[in-house]
Amino acid sequence: MLRCSVCHETYEEILRLWRCPCGKALSLEIDETFFPGPEELKRRSLSIWRYKEALPFKIGTEPVSLGEGRTPLVPALWKDHKIFFKLDFLLPTGSYKDRGIAYQMTKLKEHGLQTIIEDSSGNAGASMAAYAARAGIRCRVFVPAYTSA
């Protein structure tokens, strides 16, 4: 459910509102009574879908997934500081954008979209096309002429 931060009017999420008709921001409210307990979470795979109840999907929505999830963190030293490199090039399409697009494509499928259009000069378009194919959604990606090969 969406709730206005000022007038407190509520709206069903399917209305695809960007803001309240009064002009103020809408906040997403999630029913936490459906959150799994610690034991259930331990049994789940280490992926972005482990905590899917915290994401704004209808109950029973199946994630659109290509196996995105836990990528390694590699420790390193930099100027006497311990830092970590996240190896997201190991995600299904080689891009960190897979995480967000997996969520986005799940939401688009939930809304019943059959065709999507994306403009991209690289990773987002490749990821969008891959996840759309997995979801059974037609996808057209437009690439600017100036994009390098």
CA proximity to 94, closest of 71, 116, 65 = 71
CA distance 109 to 137: 8
Predicted TM-score (pTM) above 0.85: no
d(CA 77, CA 31): 42
User: What are the residues facing 57 on neighbouring strands?
Assistant: none
The pLDDT assigned to 129 comes to 97
Spatial distance between the Cα atoms of 141 and 132, rounded to a whole number of angstroms: 11
Cβ neighbors of 96 (< 8 A, separation 6 or more) are 86, 88
Q: Where are the domains positioned within the chain?
A: 63-142
- The per-residue pLDDT string of the chain (149 residues; one tens digit each, 9 = 90 and over) reads 889 999 999 988 765 778 899 999 999 888 788 888 999 999 998 888 998 888 888 888 999 999 998 899 999 999 999 999 999 999 999 999 999 999 999 999 998 999 999 999 889 999 999 999 999 999 999 999 988 87
Instruction: Given CATH 3.40.50.1100, say whether it is the number of domain 63-142.
Output: yes
pLDDT value for 42: 92
